[in-house]
Structure 1
């Protein structure tokens, strides 16, 4: 796929997307509409590629992994017809992947490539929605299974310089993502992930609001501190039974939380509730600005 030629941005935006359940690939939603808009804007501004951290792949011990499988398969997803994704051609960016490995090693991270990694729905679901006509060159970065918030902020900070070269950095996780507290019956019985027989519970609403407040009212290093501090929020463990889906937000904070980023506040651009208590908030930081001649 050829990326559209256009003005290369001086500093690309960064996205923290909540990918939600697998059915977000098969069903239309406000989130899906925004993902497409964000992808269209990226192509129109001539991005060089995508660097992405999901929520379903983590390195063990202190390790970070970077995907270098030249022909990755897609892990199958439930409740979505195969026609929605099996014919989509993935586009791993091996040169940028190996460059990211070196950038991370230069910052002291224990980083290796994974030449056998197959892509999971947390990444390709969003890519298909953003770029339905073809996947841009993409690099996938793993989390680390210790789920240390400061560690993941540092990963994003280490890769932040790629924004000045026209790469789009994306974290694909979840603002409120606790599978144990979702209401599954409408999805299991009727394939309806958007059914809301009852309102979201108070803990989900409270944490969702706290996330929006931190993202939209803090910038630069304060953003990093704010999102890290939310892991001590009284409703954090209700909203995230496991830490994996929250790490993408911290990775993003690293990429857009430098002192140079002060004054760049996140925007809530779309939101889709599903399974009653899962809040799929879509945040974007920054806008495309053409580099000065």
Structure 2
């Protein structure tokens, strides 16, 4: 059973409470997928110069945000971990000479659990979270994802969780997207459709409005795309499954990579 990989935007943490087009899409996606044996998530909210991975047998839920309604701090996603899967990932990293460190007791950040809570609300599928390094080159990020490609043939679902357009300083009161945001997303879509790695790897210089869509302080939200693209290097097929926006400058999209 070879599963596709996905880039999934996690948007605002409030998605955990919302019922809208995007959350309903995530619910359907989880129902339509063949049940994975485990889930591995590269999270934008775990940015580290060292490659880190969780090794817990049971995860706690991180409420790594502030200023939200009280209900947001009572939500939990008590998914199990899978130490054997963590060891398998560590072995793949070792085989490819990638320095890495196991992390015990971190919990799942909202970049992981908000989307999984919609896709797999029973929280009964083991999860391993992986860090990203927003300062690595796109090629390096892609190559790390490629190291994990064998997992897709072992019933493991690989997800990159972030946001292609993620500018918190330009948020609006409504969801009508800014024109520059849609133009950036359209550029990414065109290059993804043709798997144009040279252009995508140079997005900060080539894409329209890149500095607004991916400001320097939010680069970690864009780079999970490269990690999961690497895991689909053999097939190099990309399909955008949904496109929506939150607050005008947060892009909500899901790309299936195979």
Q: Which has the larger radius of gyration?
A: 1
- Alignment-derived partner of residue 94 in structure 1: 83
Looking at structure 2, the residues matched to 23 and 273 of structure 1 have their Cα atoms a distance apart, in angstroms, of 13
Matches within 5 A, 1:187-266: 195-196=174-175, 199-215=176-192, 217-219=193-195, 222=196, 224-232=197-205, 233-241=207-215, 242-258=218-234, 261-262=235-236, 264=237, 266=238
Does the 8 Å contact 2:7/2:228 carry over to 1? yes
How far apart are the structure 2 equivalents of 1:107 and 1:280?
33
Q: Does 1:281 align with 2:258?
A: no
Deviations 1:104-148 (A, max 9, x none): 121111111011312110000011010012231111111124242
Unaligned runs of 5+ in 2: none
Partner of 2:158: 169
Structure 2 CA distance, aligned partners of 1:37 and 1:80?
26
Q: Distance in 2 between matches of 1:225 and 1:80?
A: 43
TM-score relative to the length of structure 1: 0.80
What is the distance in 1 between the residues matched to 2:105 and 2:78?
Answer: 17
1:73 aligns with 2:60: yes
Conserved 8 A contact 1:98-1:113: no
**Which aligned segments of 4 or more residues in structure 1 are displaced greater than 6 angstroms?**
none
Distance of aligned partners of 1:36 and 1:85 in 2 relative to their CA distance in 1, 3 Å threshold = farther
What CA RMSD, in Å, does the superposition of the two structures yield over aligned residues?
2.0
Q: 1:22 corresponds to which residue?
A: 13
**Structure 1 residues 134 and 278, CA, compared in 2 at 3 Å: closer, same or farther?**
same
Q: Which runs of 5 or more residues in structure 1 are unaligned?
A: 1-8, 187-194, 287-293
Partner of 1:40: 31
